[in-house]
Amino acid sequence: MTSEIIHMGGIRKIYDTGKVKVEALKGIDLVVAPGEFVAIVGPSGSGKSTLMNLIGCLDTPSDGHYRLAGEDVSKFDRDELADVRNRRVGFVFQGFNLLPQISAFENVEMPLLFGGVPVRERQERVAEVLGRVGLSDRMEHKPTELSGGQMQRVAIARALAMRPDVLLADEPTGNLDSSAGGDIMQLFTQLWEQGRTVVVITHDMSLARRTSRIVEIHDGRIVSDTTVAPRLPGICAFGAPASDSAKGPRSLA
Amino acid sequence: MSRHDIAVILHLFSRSARLQKKRATLTIASIAWGTVTILMLLAFGEGLKRQFSRNERAMGENLAIHWPGETSKVWKGLPEGRPIQPRIDDIALLRERIPECDAIWGEMRSGRTALTYGRKTVNAGLSGVNWEYGDARKHYPQPGGRFLDARDEEEKRRVVFLGYELAEDIFGKEEPVGKTLLVNNSPFTVIGIMQKKTQTSSYGSQDKGHAVIPITTYKALMGRDKLWVLVLHTARSEDMENALARANMVMASKYGYDPKDEHVWGIWNTVKGQEISAKIFLGMEMFFGIIGALTLIIGCVGVANIMYAVVKERTREIGVKMALGARCGWITGPFLLEGMIYTFLGGLAGAAVAIVIVTLLGLIPSEGVQVLEFLGKPTLSWPSAAATVAVLGTAGVLAGYFPARRAAAIDPATTLRYE
């Protein structure tokens, strides 16, 4: 078992539109260890979305190597990448991206179906993760019958269903009001406290400050990488950051 | 493809079918319509073909009718322009020498012969023939009567077999069999009336309007033994060629003419006619088939079009599934399955409707309806069913394949971005 979830070295991504070549990432080195809560921040056009696509195996780098939980995924084909996304990555999107015609239960069940989990176990696990995000009583509701915050909780439950190595969230609160957004961040914090690795992509610094590590990206390069909190709160000796206990991780509930 | 792949595809397919009942119904209906069209066109074509060939064969099959003529070539010191006139004796000679033939007979004929019954006289064609003529020329007797037989011929009996129209002309509503009829003022006994048949080809006159007597009786009555025509009949059409060549050799050596002289006989070989009309009908069936197939393909283009729209509408959904770990095949599989299952169900429904229509049309009595006697009844045949299945299958796969390919080309990274 490797001690790194994400290991990127010299990652470059070039978009070739035929006439113009755009180098979105110009050599990224990024290592994320298990149990980290990382925020990737940067202005729009900085390359953070491209980076998220690469981390999430939705796309492959033009150059460089990428190991996800010990697997070299940079040369994987489409179906292998699909399997990696299914097993190792839990996506949370700004626009929720729930399937509108099916219930919360069926939405959460989807990755388990793809992962080949047997029917009975699927039901148990959907109930378990929906319970964890506090939506046990909304299982049969369709996304349109839920509030924005609830939809994002369903999406998080869906991301958790396959017990992935990393939760990858792209502006998870960008579509929510501040109260619902706060709840979602708190949920991420709790999940981190329970030992999960979380990567959040955002342009909102106040959100980023609630994580344990901030990676700032600008013009396709990492310009700063600051660890602001210990990797495993409550277990590590460093304790919570002194500055603002509300923003930092709390001890295990 | 693993069991897991199949399970996932079936799950996704059944859910999308459940959510899209109306679309599924309409799609199936359009395919069903196409199937009904193609099957009905082929059924009408097949019915027409069968009826036409039945009518064409009403005169008999595999016949070569020989009209005697004159030589056109000098041969062994003999001049050209000599008439060749076969006689009754030649029939026995030919029967002996041509084993390929099922039957050989001669016919003598007079165009307008007075047939008198009581006070009524009708002029009609009179043929003197050998008894083998009956089956080969499809002069089947109506119940209660019979055709001429070998003893009639041997004993030169004065018996007559009548075409059904002629019988009605002479006897009206009376039962003709057993009655005595004057043929050229000689009394004849009516032994049988021909069954009804729709006949589209003939030599001399239509069978329904003539009277037939034994050739030997004819000879005795008219006092001549020159044949009007000589007819060869083979059981199998492929034997006709040899039979004709052999008959020519036999006659050439007996009458002394150049066997290569093509003007001695005027020959109507019905085998050739059968071949030509078979080709015409094959062409016609292909034409009907193509029209039907095009109709069906329009239906399938409709299916593909609907599915394209679905792919476009669900681009984000497909992207989400890909992000959640759906393999390529799991995205394309349901679309392919949808195309095939909808075509299958539509085809099944269409076939059922077509069978019902054809069965109902088959119940309409065609007896006496002139149009139906020529058009025949629509008939579903195995080849047309096979052709329909082939077209449907291809169309179904294509209707699913193109949208599926489009779905597979979706890039999840670009579709998932929030807009």
Burial class of residue A128 (count of CB atoms within 10 Å of its CB; 0-12, 13-18, 19+):
middle
Comparing C-alpha atoms, which of B159, B158, B119, B164 is closest to residue B138? B164
Residues B367 and B241 in one domain: no
Which pLDDT does position B286 carry in this prediction? 85
pLDDT at A110 over 60: yes
Cα A150 to its chain centre, rounded Å, is 18
Output b/e per residue, A83-95; b: 16+ Cβ within 10 A.
bbbbbbbbbbbbb
Give the whole-angstrom CA distance, residue A249 versus residue A239: 9
Does residue B19 belong to the interface with chain A, where contact is any CB pair within 8 Å?
yes
Residues B296 and B232 in one domain: no
Which pLDDT does position A238 carry in this prediction? 40
Give the whole-angstrom CA distance, residue B266 versus residue B247: 13
Which token pair is A62? 């033009």
> Chain-wide mean pLDDT for chain A?
87
Supply the pTM of this predicted model. 0.67
Residues B306 and B378 in one domain: yes
Which pLDDT does position B55 carry in this prediction? 82
Identify the segments of chain B with pLDDT beneath 50.
none
The dihedral through the CA atoms of B273, B278, B283, B284 has a sign that is positive
- Are B320 and A99 within 8 A, CB to CB? yes
Does residue A192 belong to the interface with chain B, where contact is any CB pair within 8 Å?
no
In which order are the strands placed within the sheet that holds A71-72?
Answer: A21-32, A6-16, A63-68, A71-72
Which pLDDT does position A236 carry in this prediction? 39
Note whether residue B288 is domain-resident.
yes
Residues 6+ apart with CB under 8 A from B309: none
Give the whole-angstrom CA distance, residue B44 versus residue B35: 14
Note whether residue B310 is domain-resident.
yes
Give the whole-angstrom CA distance, residue B99 versus residue B112: 36
Residues B259 and B282 in one domain: no
Note whether residue B62 is domain-resident.
no
List chain A domain ranges: 34-47+76-227
Which pLDDT does position B391 carry in this prediction? 82
Q: At what angle do helices B382-408 and B328-363 cross, to 10 degrees?
A: 150
Which token pair is B56? 């064409």
Provide φ and ψ at A112, rounded to 5°: -70, -35
Find which of A59-63, A227-231, B3-7 is predicted with most confidence, using mean pLDDT.
A59-63
Residues B149 and B49 in one domain: no
Q: How confident is the model at residue A250 (pLDDT cuts 50, 70, 90)?
A: very low
The domain defined by A34-47+76-227 carries CATH number 3.90.1150.10: no
Split into its structural domains, chain B has a count of 2
HSE at residue B103, side-chain half, CA atoms within 13 A, is: 20
Please indicate whether residue A232 or residue A117 has the higher confidence score (pLDDT). Answer: A117
* H helix and E strand count, chain B: 14, 9
Give the range of the structural domain holding residue B180, as residue numbers without chain letter.
Answer: 70-263
Which pLDDT does position B52 carry in this prediction? 81
Which pLDDT does position B297 carry in this prediction? 80
CA distance A83 to chain B (A): 5
Q: How confident is the model at residue A136 (pLDDT cuts 50, 70, 90)?
A: very high
Residues B289 and B384 in one domain: yes
Single out the residue in B215, B230, B263 at which a domain terminates: B263
The dihedral through the CA atoms of B300, B301, B302, B304 has a sign that is positive
Residues B87 and B15 in one domain: no
Largest interatomic CA distance in chain B: 108
For residues A167 and A196, is the Cβ–Cβ distance under 8 A? yes
Residue B10: CB atoms within 10 Å: 13
Residues B93 and B15 in one domain: no
- Are B11 and A113 within 8 A, CB to CB? yes
Single out the residue in B263, B297, B327 at which a domain terminates: B263
Residues B22 and B92 in one domain: no
For B412, nearest residue in chain A (alpha carbons):
A58
Question: Which residue of A110, A126, A144, A168 is the best one to mutate when testing the B interface, meaning the one whose CB has the most B CBs within 10 A?
Answer: A110
Q: Which helix (H) or strand (E) holds B370?
A: helix B370-375
CA distance A113 to chain B (A): 7
Residues 6+ apart with CB under 8 A from A251: A193, A233, A234, A240
Single out the residue in B239, B263, B287 at which a domain terminates: B263
| pLDDT per residue as tens digits for the range A23-51 | 999 999 999 999 999 999 998 888 888 99
For residues B344 and B24, is the Cβ–Cβ distance under 8 A? no
